[in-house]
Amino acid sequence: MADIHLLATSGNGPAECRVALRSLLSILEREAQARDCEIEMAVSQEPDRHGPVSAIVTLRGTGASTLAADYCGSIRFIFKSKLRPGHKRQNWFVGVKRIELADTANETTTVNMNHIRFETLRAGGPGGQHQNTTDSAVRAIHVPTGITVMCRDERSQHRNKALAIRRLQAILLLLAERESQNAKTALFLANKELERGNEVKVFRL
């Protein structure tokens, strides 16, 4: 079963939206565990003390598709701001959208290979006896950022390694492009759009 990738973002919202996003990532971790899904998270580089601006969440397992569908859209968090006591606003929005990392990956490898550490492990999961009895799965760790991806889609360790590099590169590109206003428009849900949408989930903190 193919991995499902989600982009979770606080949009252009204030620091409280990053607090909300941090809470959402914790909620997704608990939900994934309850639904017997594996989950990996890659947060935007240099998140401040309030939380990340964005994160890429990878889900795999039989319940991954349903979990992703349940959370795609605008999500509203209701809480009083601890950052600005007395502030009247109590509704803070974050957004989740499904993405395809392959669409953003460049065919040419631009990531410094000296910055990647590889680990091999048994694939497990669907794929037949071959996957379960050989160390065909590959975990790639980008040492400078700590971003980690795991690939076991292919039966060949060599192919999984190549796929891991492409996915890691795609994640790094997505997270780096948040510096650009044009990329924000193209890749991230603006905060105003989040507020206008009908939220799919509401949480009180």
Residues 85 and 123 in one domain: no
Return the amino acid letter for 131. Answer: Q
Return the amino acid letter for 73. Answer: G
Residues 94 and 17 in one domain: yes
Task: Give pLDDT tens digits along the chain (205 positions).
Answer: 678 989 898 887 889 999 999 999 999 999 999 998 988 887 765 556 888 888 889 898 999 999 999 999 999 999 999 888 888 889 999 999 898 765 444 455 577 888 999 988 875 544 444 444 567 888 888 888 778 777 776 778 888 888 888 878 877 777 666 555 444 554 555 445 555 557 899 999 8
CA distance 176 to 163: 20
CA distance 144 to 116: 9
Residues 101 and 35 in one domain: yes
The pTM (predicted TM-score) of the whole model is 0.69
Q: For residue 44, what are the domain limits? A: 4-105+194-204
Strands (DSSP E) found in 4-153: 4-9, 38-43, 54-60, 73-78, 91-99, 116-121, 137-142, 147-151
How many domains does one find in the chain?
Answer: 2
Q: What is the CATH number of the domain that holds 167?
A: 3.30.160.20
Residues 14 and 70 in one domain: yes
Length of the chain, in residues: 205
Handedness of CA 45, 117, 57, 3 (dihedral sign): positive
8: its two tokens: 């979770």
Contact 125, 131 (CB under 8 A): yes
Residues 120 and 95 in one domain: no
Q: What is the CATH number of the domain that holds 17?
A: 3.30.70.1660
Residues 30 and 88 in one domain: yes
Residues 167 and 199 in one domain: no
Residues 56 and 136 in one domain: no
